[in-house]
Structure 1
């Protein structure tokens, strides 16, 4: 009775058997980077079969480090072992927190820790939209209230240091100086949105239309009055 050649195994190999008849033994070794599970010594049994061969499991070694976070204690550093990553305060995990030692001898992809910027900052006379995200790489677009114009980039980005890039500002839309009218004069509070101009007519002339003009959100003044001669509006 003969057990024949000892069986092959993945990522390892048998040595030379002492014999291939009952009672003979053979010692298995694993390739470099692999760790044996089970007995190294396999015996030719009376049933004319070799006893159970060991398994060679990949060794992944220490789990890799990550920026702004760290791995916990692995369940094992050989094939099938897992490790859970966590992020430092002020950072948010992106990707799977659990990393697995694979049969290739490599850990599965580790997660990233992204800086948290939080809610986008407010601005006067305008507001941020809904951010794509409030962690590094997220963006938010600002708009100005009616009657105000944007200065600077409308899109603000959450940076890797946990701060938003410079936000824009909203300044009142300008209407320029209010128009002059024949036979009348004006006084005005300013030339930007919401400002007013008040018109009066010279002696002998009578105001037609609204005496007060407003600088509108469109950037133009409302309709100017006129000062026709008193004689032209009598009777």
Structure 2
């Protein structure tokens, strides 16, 4: 059985070999993006595969198989990939295979080596570069110096101008255009607005190094004949100094106050209390002397009079006193009045004495006025008797004493038949005082007590 199987297998292999000897793969084989080269096309023949630039062969040779077909040839396009990046810029692409391009845009201040980079035949991108712009070191500035350590985009150059010149900026920058900002050194100008009090300046130019002539008004001295425009952009200080009257001036009975003592200045004159100044201010004259100040004592005069009184004085100037004596029944507002610092006397008045509103216990007073010599009529309440019919306002400001005294019924009580009356208060027998009534055994009183009546008599009682 084993021998038979081996014979059968051997026969099958020989049959295949015999058939392969007659297999032909043909010459019609082609490949996209490449070329095939062969000399024979029968089983066992080989064809050389060469792909076009930018394509990769799956193998360098292909064989004619025992099936009568060639192995499959392929030429695959190279792919540069999408991982490409660039410093200081950005790449944009839609395809990454051989021949494709990527758009290159650099950041501000950088130059691209190409607008587009290509996926090369090697399967790699053409190298993209963004090179920083360089503003160069050749920049100069009139009347100044530029100092820089770097000249590429974003760098700064320090600007220092010569004495008397102003820089438009402390530093200038290298711009994204590849050019420096513009530096300028402008000569300082002291301007033409300078003026001087009490004088005049004359100049033809006003820039650094120029001079102005100074001429002062009459009575003023110039500190210099000319002033210069300095490197600070300011003129030297011009001054015209005026005459000085000094600060030693004094005045009797007053004081002078001044802040300046030069020609045209004024001094305030304040006199002591009770004195009049000849002027509120005095001036420093062009002679270098002050006007004359004086302080004159105030006089209140001798024409002062007072109604209902008399004033007596010996002097009438500030600080003097006048004695005031009022007529009888009049009150002085002061024993003396003074001549005031206003130049007027204190007010002197003699006011009629007023006794004020009178009052009367157990009665009433009728009056129209309450001043000196006024009268008030007296009316007493029921059961009271007036000590006088009227009272008068006296010179001392008090009313003449008057009173309403209660009616006195006396201590002798009425006789009560079959009874007796006893004072409730042995000391009180005046109006409305009472006396208790008691009857003998077997008798009853018609009232419990007797009253002292307004007519000065006791009331009666009966014991029945």
Structure-2-length-normalised TM-score = 0.24
Structure 1 or 2, whichever has the larger Rg, is 2
TM-score by length of 1: 0.45
